[in-house]
Chain A
Amino acid sequence: MIELRDVAVRYGGTPVVRDVSFRTERGAFVGLVGANGSGKTSLLKVIARLFPPAAGVVWIAGREAASYTRSELARLVAGVWQRVPLSFGFTVRQLVLLGRTPHLPPLRWETRADLEIAEEAMEETQVSHLAERPATQLSAGELQRVFIATALAQQSPILLLDEPTSFLDLKQAARLSALLDRLHGRGVTILCASHDLALLRRHASSVVLLAEGRLDCTGRPEALLAPAVLQRAFGIGAEEWYG
């Protein structure tokens, strides 16, 4: 479903990701793990084509990602990113409905079906009661759930998650975990960058470990807890990890 071949990312000439290659199958749940600054978010953004790779190629659903139009790609790949700054008072419902953008024909307003899809997405993420609230008035955790709802409303078969539990309390993190179970059950391919090793251990069929912008290893989530891996990727001993 997703394949990266020798992908490199640079910010203003500084390399942040080098020669990363891996592939994920349709319906897989893949964790992307690494220390801060190891290149997880950059890699997700290259897959979503939010910026181009400095080298290498990304393939999605059998075609080069660069060959899709923006709308085509958005119908295939949805994403939830950290820290979206908001300037204007879009309501929660309006933000979630924007997830329907790639499905709308030119100059056509949302249909009843689009509105129902947005309602379902808000119910799945427990933000229905916030529907008419300006998103600028929400807490970081509530906003995180709204953007997850927007991604769900996109109904794309691939979901990219960048630290999805970072602003969530324990109850909401547990609900997100249940939602990920349901999405996985529906056959959605999920690529999730996270420091939440418990979440990945619960859901991921495999993990990709990045260290200093390079692919360190891939394998089962449990393999991450091997003392040698913890030391190499995060610079801590097994006895220092509290998980």
Chain B
Amino acid sequence: MNRFPLRRAAATAFMAAAVLALAAAASLATGPYAIRPSTLVQTLLGSHAGTMAAQVLFTIRLPRLAGACIGGFALAIAGLVFQALLRNPLASEYTLGVSSGAALGAVGAALLHLRSPLATPVAAFVGAFLTIAIVLLLARARLAFETNAAIMIGVIFTALANAALSLVLSVLSPYELQAFFFWFMGSFAEAEWPTLLPAGVVVLVLSAVVYALSWKLNAVAVDEQFAAQVGVNVELVKMILLVAASVLTAVVVSIAGTVGFVGLVVPHMARLAVGVDHRLLIPVTALIGAALCVAADLLARTLLAPHELPVGVVTAFIGVPVFVALMRRPER
């Protein structure tokens, strides 16, 4: 019989889904306008149309919840892909500079006053893809320790991109500053249905593409030469997955700015639970990522209410200790 840990993966996915459901329910009910559970359920089922509760739910909290779900789902998968392709547990869209590159692209589009609804996500993707291309090309030029070099160059590129963003922010008026600030630390507060719906479709389609390649990704995560030996077209698989992970990152950046540590930490949590088979890891990672982002957004809204924290601050405060703890444990 198949010895892959299917049961453990199913149990972990169930737990992650349960945490996601609880955090989602709390997220919808909690806020300056509290909604009782019974009212919440009835409003979601279509009663109370036109009431304050319906207004708050459908125009503010549900889009925000959907944004956090999409964001966590996409960032976790992107991080997993980067780690597997580079065979480096420190790789993620954040440490490789892809998030910062995407934010730089999005800010560039805003500064140029590009009005098209596609301008921000496309500019974010261009920034993300150019960043990963430059980082990998520079890393390849070093030949030895290519994957470690990619992380080092990514960290340096992140510092450069953040300096460029700081430069932009420092010359803006206070009014403009408010609008640009969230590119730095991330927030799902600006999430709106017109951008969320296409973002959700793109994330689902790309997640399906990544999953379809998870068989090949297993071999690539061992070693590229090994993967070629067992019949994987390594260059093609790498290119498709790098584009997919870059687009996933860009989609999240275009709706929420840079949200760090999700793509770095969540794949490790999932690996600890289900092992290293990407056919199981991808769905579990995505669910944990969504649960983490929804919970982090809830904390960001409520911890210092009525003040709101950037969600990136919360994911950093959760992510760093979790990462340190995971690194001290042997991996399955």
Report which A residues bind B (CB closer than 8 A): 45, 48-50, 69-71, 73-75, 78-79, 81, 84-91, 93-95, 98-99, 101-102, 104, 106-107, 109-110, 112, 115, 131-132, 134, 147, 150, 154
Contacts and interface: CB of A to CB of B under 8 A. Distances in A.
24 contacts: A45-B225, A49-B228, A74-B231, A78-B229, A81-B225, A81-B229, A86-B223, A87-B87, A87-B88, A88-B222, A89-B275, A89-B332, A94-B4, A95-B222, A98-B219, A101-B215, A101-B216, A102-B231, A107-B212, A107-B215, A109-B4, A112-B1, A115-B1, A150-B230
A15 to B, nearest CB: 18
Contacts of B215: 101, 104, 107
Interface of B: 1-4, 84, 87-89, 147, 212, 215-216, 218-219, 221-223, 225-226, 228-233, 271, 275-277, 279, 330-332
Contacts of A154: 230
A99 B275 CA distance: 19
Contact of B231 (A45, A70, A132): A70
Contacts of A81: 225-226, 229
B213 to A, nearest CB: 10
B223 A90 contact: no
Given A93-B3, A95-B222, A107-B215, A88 B271 contact: yes
Given A87-B87, A110-B2, A115-B1, A94 B276 contact: yes
Nearest to A72: B231
A134 B331 contact: yes
Interface centre among B226, B228, B230, B277 (most CB of A within 10 A): B230
Contacts of A98: 218-219, 222, 226, 230
Contacts of B1: 112, 115
Contact of B87 (A49, A88, A115, A134): A88
A191 to B, nearest CB: 14
**Centre residue among B1, B231, B277 by max chain A CB count within 10 A:** B231
B331 A88 contact: yes
A237 B218 CA distance: 48
A190 B86 CA distance: 32
B232 to A, nearest CB: 6
Given A48-B229, A70-B233, A89 B3 contact: no
B78 to A, nearest CB: 17
